[in-house]
Amino acid sequence: MRLTVSGRSGLRGPFRLAIAALALAAALPAGAARAQYYDDPGYDGEYRPVPRRAQRAPVGYNCDAVQQGITGPKPFSCPLPGPRPLGVRCFCDMPIASFSPPQTAVGRVVP
């Protein structure tokens, strides 16, 4: 049995479509990696060290106070609400007796 040839091949349509797809892919900009340069002090030899936290004075969270009582000086320590530099003045409310209000004593910040 002999096939009839009408003059056109059956592969001509897909072949043209493949050629058109290749031409379109070549014409569009490719998503290849490209170098992106920006003005950074690291370039051109201007090296800048990594920023570090500023050095701070040592801090303490407790207040040591001494209250003069009837029987002599009484040491007392109370917590501070936040960090304070070591050695600065602080104040503690010291209980003297259960029936009297606390008295304020002056102390120094300790670690």
Reported as a single tens digit per residue, the pLDDT across 32-44 is 666 666 666 555 5
| Residue 47, in any domain of the structure | no
| Residue 98, in any domain of the structure | yes
| Residue 97, in any domain of the structure | yes
Q: Which residues of the chain have pLDDT under 70?
A: 1-11, 27-48
d(CA 63, CA 91): 7
Q: Which two tokens stand for residue 2?
A: 């002999």
| Residue 52, in any domain of the structure | no
DSSP secondary structure letters along 17-84: HHHHHHHHHHHSPP----------TTGGG---PPP-PPP---EEEEEEEEEEETTEEEEEEEEEEEEE
Residue ranges making up the domain that contains 85 = 59-110
Q: What is the pLDDT of residue 13?
A: 77
Count: domains in the chain: 1
